[in-house]
Amino acid sequence: MPIGVLALQGDVREHIQLLTELGSSALEVKTADQLASCDALVIPGGESTTISKLLVNFGLMDPVKDFVSSKPVLGTCAGLILLSEEVVGRRPDQQLIGGMPITVERNAYGGQTHSFEAQVDFTEVTESAAFIRAPRIADVKGCDVIARLGDEPVAIRHANVFGATFHPELTGAKELHRQFINAVESA
Ligand code: GLN
């Protein structure tokens, strides 16, 4: 079964392209039926309050919460914020999906003009990635750190739930998706 990419907002096409380049079949997910046909889900970056409202409006909030409890999920940037159990700077009208027992701080590096590209270190490789109004992982709470920016954790894993504060799809960085696909294949 394919890997779904939540297609409510964000770099949907770029994530599908990255997954396809790595040999996976990928499809857009906008409905609960499409979600049910997937083995795994990618939640792209964008704006986490907007995505949260769209999840509710599209009837996907509860199906995605169920999905995270049993299948592999990768959230990048806003996607990671939505998967976190605790968000510093959360707007009161933002509902979280949850599933990852971490604390993140929204917009921790500043606004759009403080966005930057930087090298992130995985165990095996170093890749360039884009940080756009990125959150910071304030407390990893026992999750595995899979990539760092200097000393800071920027990609983590909790069982089969993966998250990153950056956008790998904009620079063609492949390692995060590669590790995610490995987890999907062994799930
Ligand atoms: N700061 C945004 C938010 O809170 C996330 C930015 C992004 O996904 N590039 O949703």
CB-CB contact of 83 with 180 (8 Å): no
CB-CB contact of 117 with 150 (8 Å): no
**pLDDT above 90: residue 86:** yes
For residue 50, the CA-to-ligand 1 centroid distance in Å is 10
pLDDT of residue 111: 79
The pTM of the whole model exceeds 0.95: yes
Query: Would you say the CB of residue 81 lies under 6 angstroms from ligand 1?
Result: yes
d(CA 50, CA 78): 10
Pocket test for ligand 1, best of 77, 91, 95, 165 (most atoms within 8 A of CB): 77
For residue 186, the CA-to-ligand 1 centroid distance in Å is 30
Query: At a CB cut-off of 8 Å and minimum separation 6, what does 114 contact?
Result: 133
Please say if 15 is a catalytic residue: no
pLDDT of residue 70: 95
Token pair for 60: 């996907």
Residue that wins the pLDDT comparison between 154 and 112: 154
Average pLDDT value for residue range 41-58: 97
**pLDDT above 90: residue 88:** yes
Atom of ligand 1 nearest to the CA of 51: 10
**pLDDT above 80: residue 1:** no
pLDDT of residue 167: 97
**Would you give the DSSP letter of residue 31?**
S
Atom of ligand 1 nearest to the CA of 49: 10
Query: Would you say the CB of residue 12 lies under 6 angstroms from ligand 1?
Result: no
Q: By percentage, how much of the chain surpasses pLDDT 90?
A: 94
Segment 123-182, tens digit of pLDDT = 999 999 999 999 999 999 989 999 999 999 999 999 999 999 999 999 989 999 999 999
Token pair for 131: 């940080």
Q: State how far Cα 23 lies from the chain centre.
A: 19
At residue 173, what are phi and psi to the nearest 5 degrees?
A: -70, 130
Pocket test for ligand 1, best of 52, 107, 115 (most atoms within 8 A of CB): 107
For residue 84, the CA-to-ligand 1 centroid distance in Å is 13
pLDDT of residue 114: 87
